[in-house]
Amino acid sequence: MKEAYQDSVTVNERDLQRYFELNMQKKEIEKEMNQLKSFFHQFLDSEIGELEKGELERGNFKLQRQIRSAILYDEASTVQLLEELRLEDCIILEKKPDIEKLEAAFKLGIAEESAFQQCRQTKNTKAITVKKIGR
């Protein structure tokens, strides 16, 4: 990061314009990189085979493709089968509040919202957007 940005206590139009331009360049670069990746995968699929790792060299550059795989289980059908096989020890029982029902209980007067104040957490995230307006 340039020192000018670190020491600056004001934001001027030039800063916003630069951010806007860089963001547009970033989007274009990401779009082109994704197109190239897709092309590389198509080429390697046809030359080496789908889901096969491989590499090729062109001039001073080497393209490598790695294949990562993970085994996942459909939660609902796996739990159902485990219950049928009486393998409940292989099932994680997770207790967590049903927020929709809790908030409905507040509205209906079944539970006092103030009793849950110490349980509440607020998650905040910061986001920056710069848009070009008029002119």
User: Using one digit for the tens of pLDDT, what is the confidence trace for 54-86?
Assistant: 999 999 999 999 999 999 999 999 999 999 999
What's the mean pLDDT when you consider all of the chain?
Answer: 91
User: Using one digit for the tens of pLDDT, what is the confidence trace for 40-59?
Assistant: 999 999 999 999 999 999 99
What is the pTM assigned to this prediction? Answer: 0.66
Taking the CA atoms of residue 5, residue 6, residue 7 and residue 12 in that order, the dihedral angle to the nearest 10 degrees is: 30
Q: Find out whether 16 and 128 touch, Cβ atoms under 8 Å.
A: no
Q: How much of the chain, in percent, has pLDDT values that exceed 70?
A: 93
Taking the CA atoms of residue 24, residue 124, residue 7 and residue 25 in that order, the dihedral angle to the nearest 10 degrees is: -10
Per domain, the residue ranges of the chain are 3-119
